[in-house]
C-alpha cells in the first residue's frame, strides 16, 4: 500500500470520526426536545395532531431521496450543517435556561434543515427546499394552541364580520353583535373553535409543503403563504355562513350541521376549495438537472479533517454542558395566599380534597396555588 493510499485511508477514518462526533452532539441536544414533543402528541390536553405533519414531512423527504442521487454535487455541505448545529445549540441553551420547551422544539426544526443539507435534497432529481421543510416541521409542535390563544379572538371578530357581510343580502332581518349573529330568530355564536385557527394551520402547512416541493425562495414562498392565509380566513367566513344556514334551515331538512362528521367535512371542504387557486402557481426558478456540472472539491478540505475531530469533541462537551444547565422558568407565579373556602354552598357541606400528583407538580413548577 502506497503512502498516498494510507494517507487517504487515515483521512477517511478521521472524517467519519468527526461526523460521528457531530451526530452525537446533535443527538444529545435533541433527546429532551424529542421526548417533550412526543409527550405533546400523547397528552390529550394539547389535542395535538403534530405527528401528521411530521409524517407528511417524512413522506416528502423519502419522495426526494428515492428520486436518485444528487445531480449537482457542491464542494462542501459540512460547513453550513455545522452552522445549523451551532444555531440549534444556541436555541437549545435558551430553552434550557428559560425552561421554555417550545424553544427547544424550534431547535429541532434547525436540525431538520441541517439534515436536508447533508442529504442534498435540493440537488436531487426531485428537489426539496430544506428551509421550507424546517418550517413544515414547526407544525408538528403544539403551535395551534398558542395560535388559538393569540390569534383566536381577533379571528373570531374577523370571521363574524365577514359572515355578516355575506349574510346581509339574503337575510334582511340579520342582527350582528360582535361575535353573535341573529339570523331569522336563531342565535349563531362564532366561538373560539370556530375562529378558524385549525383551518389556518392546515392552510399554512399546505402552502409550506408546496413551497418545499417547488423549492421557492423565502421571499417568494412568504408571499404565497400570506396569500394562502388570506384565502383561508375568507374560507372560514364562508364556513361560518354555511353552518349558520344549516342551523336555520337544517331542522326542516333533518340535518344537524353541528354534528360530526358533517361539521368537520364542511370545514375541510371550504378550506381546500379556497386553497385550490394556490395550486396553479408554479415556481419560476430553474432546478438542477443532470447536465449541471459537478463542482470541484474545495482545496484544503482533506487537510482540515483532523481539526474537525477536535471540534466535534468540543461540540459533544458543549452539548453535555447545555443539557445540564440549570432551568429557571420565567413565567413562575408567586405563591398566593388563598382565602378560606366557604363551609357550605346551597346546603351542601364542603369537604376539602387533596390535589392530585399532577396538579401538585404543576403548582410546584409554575407557582400559584389551588384548593378544592
Q: What is the pLDDT, as a whole number, of residue 329?
A: 73
Asked whether residue 271 carries a pLDDT value surpassing 80, the answer given is: yes
Q: What is the pLDDT, as a whole number, of residue 35?
A: 93
* 5: Cβ contacts below 8 Å, ≥ 6 apart: none
Measured in whole angstroms, the distance separating CA 120 from the mean position of its chain's CA atoms is 22
Using pLDDT thresholds of 50, 70 and 90, give the confidence band for residue 333: low
Domains of the chain, residue spans: 3-127+287-323, 144-280, 332-372
Of the two residues 99 and 297, the one the predictor is more confident about is 99
Q: What is the pLDDT, as a whole number, of residue 164?
A: 83
Q: What is the pLDDT, as a whole number, of residue 286?
A: 52
Q: Are the beta carbons of 262 and 184 closer than 8 angstroms?
A: no
Neighbours of 209 (CB within 10 A): 21
Q: What is the pLDDT, as a whole number, of residue 74?
A: 54
Q: Are the beta carbons of 201 and 268 closer than 8 angstroms?
A: no
d(CA 186, CA 245): 10
Buried b (16+ CB within 10 A) or exposed e, 261-300: eebeebbeebbeebbeebeeeebeeebbeeeeeeeeeeee
Q: What is the pLDDT, as a whole number, of residue 59?
A: 94
Structure confidence by residue, pLDDT tens digits, 198-234: 888 888 999 999 999 999 999 999 999 999 888 888 8
Of the two residues 180 and 207, the one the predictor is more confident about is 207
Asked whether residue 196 carries a pLDDT value surpassing 90, the answer given is: no
Percentage, residues of the chain above pLDDT 70: 83
Residue with the three cell numbers 395532531? 49
Residue-by-residue DSSP string for 146-189: HHHHHHHHHHHHHHHHHHHHHHTTT-TT-EEETTEEEETTEEEE
Structure confidence by residue, pLDDT tens digits, 14-46: 667 777 888 888 889 899 999 999 999 998 878
Asked whether residue 285 carries a pLDDT value surpassing 60, the answer given is: no
Q: Is 351 exposed, middle or buried (0-12, 13-18, 19+ CB in 10 A)?
A: exposed
Percentage, residues of the chain above pLDDT 90: 18
Cell of residue 279, nine digits = 395550486
Using pLDDT thresholds of 50, 70 and 90, give the confidence band for residue 6: very low
Asked whether residue 289 carries a pLDDT value surpassing 80, the answer given is: no
Asked whether residue 2 carries a pLDDT value surpassing 70, the answer given is: no
Asked whether residue 243 carries a pLDDT value surpassing 90, the answer given is: no
Across 68-82, 196-210, 260-274, the highest mean pLDDT is recorded for 196-210
Q: Are the beta carbons of 33 and 101 closer than 8 angstroms?
A: yes
Q: Are the beta carbons of 285 and 217 closer than 8 angstroms?
A: yes
Q: What is the pLDDT, as a whole number, of residue 305?
A: 59
Neighbours of 194 (CB within 10 A): 24
Q: What is the pLDDT, as a whole number, of residue 56?
A: 93
> What average pLDDT does this structure show over 273-296?
63
Angle between helices 218-253 and 143-167 (to 10 degrees): 60
Q: What is the pLDDT, as a whole number, of residue 303?
A: 44
Q: What is the pLDDT, as a whole number, of residue 9?
A: 54
Cell of residue 142, nine digits = 403544539
Residue-by-residue DSSP string for 329-353: -TTPPPP-PPPPPPSEETTEEP---
d(CA 33, CA 96): 10
Using pLDDT thresholds of 50, 70 and 90, give the confidence band for residue 257: confident
Neighbours of 214 (CB within 10 A): 20
DSSP 8-state assignment for residue 125: S
Amino acid at each position: 500500500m502506497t503512502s498516498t493510499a494510507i494517507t487517504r485511508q487515515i483521512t477517511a477514518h478521521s472524517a467519519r470520526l468527526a461526523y460521528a462526533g457531530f451526530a452525537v452532539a446533535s443527538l444529545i441536544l435533541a433527546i429532551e426536545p424529542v421526548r417533550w414533543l412526543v409527550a405533546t402528541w400523547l397528552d390529550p390536553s394539547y389535542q395535538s395532531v403534530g405527528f401528521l405533519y411530521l409524517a407528511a414531512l417524512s413522506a416528502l423527504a423519502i419522495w426526494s431521496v428515492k428520486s436518485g442521487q444528487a445531480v449537482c454535487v457542491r464542494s462542501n455541505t459540512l460547513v453550513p450543517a455545522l452552522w445549523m448545529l451551532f444555531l440549534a445549540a444556541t436555541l437549545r441553551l435558551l430553552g434550557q435556561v428559560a425552561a421554555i420547551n417550545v424553544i427547544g422544539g424550534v431547535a429541532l426544526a434547525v436540525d431538520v434543515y441541517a439534515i436536508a443539507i447533508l442529504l442534498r435534497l435540493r440537488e436531487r432529481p426531485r428537489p426539496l427546499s430544506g428551509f421550507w421543510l424546517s418550517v413544515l416541521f414547526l407544525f408538528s409542535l403544539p403551535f395551534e394552541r398558542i395560535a388559538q390563544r393569540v390569534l383566536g379572538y381577533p379571528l373570531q371578530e374577523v370571521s363574524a364580520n365577514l359572515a355578516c357581510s355575506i349574510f346581509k343580502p339574503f337575510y334582511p332581518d340579520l342582527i350582528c353583535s360582535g361575535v353573535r349573529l341573529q339570523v331569522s330568530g336563531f342565535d349563531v355564536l362564532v366561538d373560539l373553535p370556530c375562529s378558524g385557527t385549525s383551518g389556518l394551520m392546515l392552510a399554512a402547512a399546505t402552502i409550506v409543503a408546496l413551497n418545499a416541493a417547488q423549492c421557492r425562495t423565502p421571499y417568494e414562498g412568504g408571499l404565497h403563504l400570506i396569500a394562502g392565509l388570506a384565502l383561508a380566513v375568507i374560507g372560514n367566513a364562508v364556513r361560518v355562513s354555511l353552518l349558520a344556514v344549516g342551523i336555520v334551515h337544517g331542522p326542516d331538512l333533518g340535518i344537524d350541521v353541528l354534528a360530526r362528521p358533517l361539521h368537520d367535512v364542511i370545514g375541510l371542504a371550504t378550506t381546500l376549495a379556497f386553497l385550490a387557486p394556490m395550486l396553479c402557481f408554479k415556481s419560476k426558478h430553474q432546478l438542477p438537472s443532470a447536465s449541471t456540472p459537478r463542482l470541484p472539491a474545495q482545496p484544503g478540505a482533506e487537510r482540515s479533517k483532523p481539526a474537525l475531530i477536535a471540534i466535534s469533541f468540543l461540540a459533544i462537551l458543549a452539548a453535555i454542558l447545555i443539557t445540564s444547565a440549570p432551568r429557571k422558568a420565567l413565567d413562575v407565579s408567586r405563591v398566593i395566599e388563598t382565602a378560606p373556602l366557604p363551609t357550605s354552598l346551597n346546603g351542601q357541606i364542603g369537604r376539602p380534597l387533596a390535589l392530585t400528583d399532577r396538579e401538585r407538580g404543576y403548582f410546584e413548577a409554575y407557582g400559584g396555588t389551588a384548593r378544592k
